Each structure stands twice: as C-alpha cells, then as structure tokens.
C-alpha cells in the first residue's frame, strides 16, 4: 500500500465511482475535498469540483467506494502476542479463561509495548482508524507510532476491593494520562467500584465500557452466588466472605447501581432476557457485539437483530487476539453477514463505523465522511456492475478480501 498524499494535509479532491459516507446516502461518481487532515465537503464530483479552489489536485480511485476508516470499539491490543496460542473453538468460557491465565503468567516478562505495536499494526492493516482499547496497565501509555488512534480504557479488577483508588494498578493515575477507568465485569469488580467508575466517567462525559452477560456462569453467580465465577474468585483469594448475591441479572444489577445510560457500552451482551433488552433500550445504552469471539469461546450467540429492532446503538468489535483470529472488522462484518441473514448489509456497515464512533464519543470525527471528520478514509475496490442496491454487500466482501487501500493516511 502506498499513500497518495505526498504533502501532509495538502488540499485534495478524492474521486471514486461511489462515495459511501455512511451517515448519508451513497453518491454515484462521488468525491471528497480534504484539507489539513480533515474532510471539507463531500458529495457528487461535479458539485465538489465547483466548490474547490481552481487547480486543486484530483486523485481518481476509479472503480472503488470511498468509505470511512473503521472503528473497533472493543479490543485488548496488549494481548496481541497471544495470537495463535489458543485453539478455537474452545469448549467454553471457563476453559478459555484458565488457558488465558496460564498464558498471561508465562508471558508476563514480555514487554507489553511489543504486543501493543503488533496489535496497532494489525489494526491499521485492517483499515481501523480508531480503537476502544482495553489495557490492564501494560499498554497504558500512548504509543509513539500513532498509526491508529486509541481511546485507552484502564481495566479494573477487584471483587474484594471497595474503591476505584484501591483497584488502580500501582504507578498509574487517571486524569493526567487520559486513561478511562473500565470495570472488567460484574463478577470481577465490586459494586462500589462500578458505581465510582460510572460517576467518574459521567462527570467527564466519557463512556463506561464493561463486559456484560458474556457467559452463563455470570448469570448464575449474580442469581445464586455459586458456580464457576465463585470458584474462580475463591481460587484467586478475591471472594469476600459474607457477600450476598443480588438475585438480579447483570443488566438489572448495573441499573440498580445507576450505571446504565446513553454513555454505557454493554460489551458482548450475549445472555440478556427480554426484560433486560427492554431495560437496555429504555436507558439508551450502546451494545458492542463480538460474535466471532463468542463463537470461538462457545459463549453463545448474541441477538443482534433484537438489539437493532429496539433501536439500540449497536457495534461490532473484534475483542482480542486471545479470543479471535484477527483484528479485522471487515471479517467481523462478513461473519455477521453470513450468520445473521436478516440484518441488512447497510446496518452491518454502520456497526463498524458510525455506531462505534458514537459509543466512544467520537462521532463527527470518525465513522462518517462528512465535513470536519478525519480525512483518513478507505478506498474499497468494487466488483464490476456494483450498483446502489449491491454496494453495501460488495463493500463487505471486498473489505474481507483486503481489496482496499488507505486514502490520505500518512502511515500508508
């Protein structure tokens, strides 16, 4: 791949057979005027050309669609060194988590920066411009490479701890570093920490992201206080004696803690009841589905159609290379296109662009080709005869094949 913009930020018109802005209808013979690393305007080539200063250089991408850089709202790039070390499918979540613990112990001496760089490069090579990246502390610093923008969530653990401060990894601070606290899950973090994290993120207008109802053991634990999650906590010495199960579903429990609103990202959301879905919709939560990870871990099949029908802001994410084979959102989209045939391909494309950008609080910057957005875009090759009705499907198929290139990205 070669970049086409030799002088960073110079005014350019990018033209292609189709413009797929995502937040607006596709435009045949479309174009985007970019300057200073931002989109200035986008639309039909004739009207863009008319608006631009005379002599603005035109780059014609030919039989392709201009498409926004992808947004992966849930991944753990610091686990990228584990690629290929866990065979899929795993029999279940509990078998997988034991393997993960063993592997993380074996690789504890390896520099997390190396794994982070691997993950960043793979994300970039898959067309991703922005990640919601979870770290346990090893990849808490911003990388000097910068090919992919990261919103860095610091994952907190501590079922036996009672404050956000006590669950912080040693040597890390939140505000000065731009880290966003993210409780891991309802079975690994105590109620006071979840409440405090929500208060912290709410006060700063930032998202609260959390693994929710990923597997059935989590449901059992909150209902009865027993099962695999209890055994796991006891084996780690983190089960506080006297703890009583709330007798609620994970979604009910989070609502009871005041943690659900439009800035809450429910990640996985595989095991939700009808009333959980209604509650998530009432609170206007975002939902982040990781269907290939769920399938690889035998965690179940998420009801993506249900969430979309309720109008929830839904995204697709890859999760990490410890539970997925790659970090390619086009591959995630192709998986959903094949396995959830009732979902329109246009909706699938929204789930890897504008919807995750919205859930990360970065709509306007990422996920759409519109004035003010980043000029880093993709030109996705189209098959012969691609028309408006087949455009979305064609984009997913070409994207999965890797038939695209970066536009305007200095790293390309």
State in angstroms the smallest separation of the CB of 292 from Zn ion. 12
Please, which residue, 215 or 405, has the CB nearer to Zn ion?
215
Q: Is 289 exposed, middle or buried (0-12, 13-18, 19+ CB in 10 A)?
A: buried
Please, which residue, 218 or 319, has the CB nearer to Zn ion?
319
State in angstroms the smallest separation of the CB of 317 from Zn ion. 8
Q: How many residues bind Zn ion (CB under 5 A)?
A: 1
The residue whose Cβ lies closest to Zn ion is 319
Q: Which two tokens stand for residue 64?
A: 């392709």
Q: Which two tokens stand for residue 256?
A: 């009871």
The residues pairing with 150 across neighbouring beta strands, listed in sequence order, are 131
Query: Which residues in the 90-109 window bind Zn ion by CB under 5 A?
Result: none
Q: What is the DSSP string of 7-52?
A: STT--EEEEEEEE--SSS--EEEEEEEEETTEEEEEEEHHHHHHHS
Please, which residue, 34 or 126, has the CB nearer to Zn ion?
126
- CA atoms within 13 A of residue 239's CA, in its CB half-sphere: 17
State in angstroms the smallest separation of the CB of 204 from Zn ion. 22
State in angstroms the smallest separation of the CB of 201 from Zn ion. 17
Residue 34: left if φ>0, alpha if ψ -120 to 50, beta else—which one?
beta
Please, which residue, 122 or 319, has the CB nearer to Zn ion?
319
Number of helices followed by number of strands (H, E) in the chain: 15, 15
Please, which residue, 65 or 322, has the CB nearer to Zn ion?
322
State in angstroms the smallest separation of the CB of 134 from Zn ion. 6
**Cα–Cα distance between 346 and 173 in angstroms, integer?**
41
Residue 136's SS3 state is coil
State in angstroms the smallest separation of the CB of 267 from Zn ion. 6
Please, which residue, 151 or 391, has the CB nearer to Zn ion?
151
Query: Which residues in the 256-295 window bind Zn ion by CB under 5 A?
Result: none
**Cα–Cα distance between 338 and 346 in angstroms, integer?**
14
What's the first-to-final CA gap in the chain, in angstroms?
Answer: 6
State in angstroms the smallest separation of the CB of 133 from Zn ion. 10
**Cα–Cα distance between 150 and 164 in angstroms, integer?**
22
The residues pairing with 359 across neighbouring beta strands, listed in sequence order, are none
From edge to edge, which strands make up the β-sheet containing 70-75?
A: 70-75, 128-135, 149-156, 180-183
Please, which residue, 211 or 358, has the CB nearer to Zn ion?
211
Please, which residue, 196 or 214, has the CB nearer to Zn ion?
214
State in angstroms the smallest separation of the CB of 182 from Zn ion. 10
Q: Which two tokens stand for residue 36?
A: 């200073």
State in angstroms the smallest separation of the CB of 202 from Zn ion. 22
The residues pairing with 28 across neighbouring beta strands, listed in sequence order, are 18
Please, which residue, 218 or 397, has the CB nearer to Zn ion?
218
Q: Which two tokens stand for residue 19?
A: 């413009």
State in angstroms the smallest separation of the CB of 94 from Zn ion. 16
State in angstroms the smallest separation of the CB of 233 from Zn ion. 19
Q: Is 325 exposed, middle or buried (0-12, 13-18, 19+ CB in 10 A)?
A: middle
Residue corresponding to tokens 């800035």: 263
Please, which residue, 69 or 297, has the CB nearer to Zn ion?
297
Strands 180-183 and 404-407: unpaired
Please, which residue, 149 or 319, has the CB nearer to Zn ion?
319
Query: Which residues in the 304-333 window bind Zn ion by CB under 5 A?
Result: 319
**Cα–Cα distance between 14 and 19 in angstroms, integer?**
10
Where along the sequence are the contacts to Zn ion (CB under 5 A)?
Answer: 319
């Amino acid at each position: 791949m070669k970049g086409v913009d030799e002088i960073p930020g110079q005014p350019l018109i990018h033209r292609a057979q189709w413009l797929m802005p995502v937040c607006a209808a596709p435009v045949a013979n479309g174009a985007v005027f970019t300057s200073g690393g931002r989109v200035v305007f986008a639309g039909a080539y004739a009207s863009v050309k008319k608006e631009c200063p005379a002599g603005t250089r035109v780059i014609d991408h030919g039989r392709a669609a201009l498409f926004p850089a992808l947004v992966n709202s849930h991944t753990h790039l610091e686990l990228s060194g584990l690629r290929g070390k866990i065979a899929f499918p795993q029999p279940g979540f509990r078998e997988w988590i034991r393997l993960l613990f063993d592997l993380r112990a074996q690789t504890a001496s390896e520099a997390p920066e190396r794994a982070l760089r691997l993950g960043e490069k793979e994300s970039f090579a898959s067309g991703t411009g922005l990640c919601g990246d979870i770290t346990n502390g090893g990849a808490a610093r911003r990388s000097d490479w910068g090919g992919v923008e990261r919103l860095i969530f610091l994952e907190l653990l501590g079922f036996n701890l009672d404050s956000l401060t006590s669950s912080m990894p040693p040597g890390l601070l939140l505000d000065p570093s731009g880290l966003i606290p993210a409780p891991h899950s309802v079975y690994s973090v105590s109620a006071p920490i979840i409440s405090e994290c929500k208060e912290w993120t709410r006060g700063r207008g930032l998202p609260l992201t959390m693994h929710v109802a990923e597997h059935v053991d989590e449901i059992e634990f909150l209902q009865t206080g027993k099962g695999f999650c209890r055994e796991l906590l006891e084996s780690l010495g983190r089960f506080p004696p006297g703890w009583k199960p709330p007798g609620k579903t994970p979604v009910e429990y989070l609502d009871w803690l005041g943690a659900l609103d439009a800035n809450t990202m429910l990640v996985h959301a595989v095991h939700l009841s009808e009333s959980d879905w209604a509650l998530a919709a009432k609170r206007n939560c975002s939902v982040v589905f990781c269907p290939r990870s769920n399938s690889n871990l035998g965690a179940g099949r998420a009801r993506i159609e249900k969430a979309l029908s309720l109008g929830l802001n839904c995204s697709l994410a890859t999760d990490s290379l410890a539970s997925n084979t790659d970090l390619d959102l086009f591959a995630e989209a192709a998986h959903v296109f094949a396995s959830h045939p009732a979902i329109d391909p246009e909706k699938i494309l929204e789930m890897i662009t504008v919807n995750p950008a919205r859930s990360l609080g970065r709509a306007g910057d990422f996920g759409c080709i519109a004035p003010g957005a980043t000029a880093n875009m993709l030109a996705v090759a189209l098959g012969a005869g691609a028309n408006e009705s087949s455009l979305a499907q064609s984009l997913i198929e070409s994207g999965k094949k890797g038939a695209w290139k970066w536009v305007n990205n200095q790293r390309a």
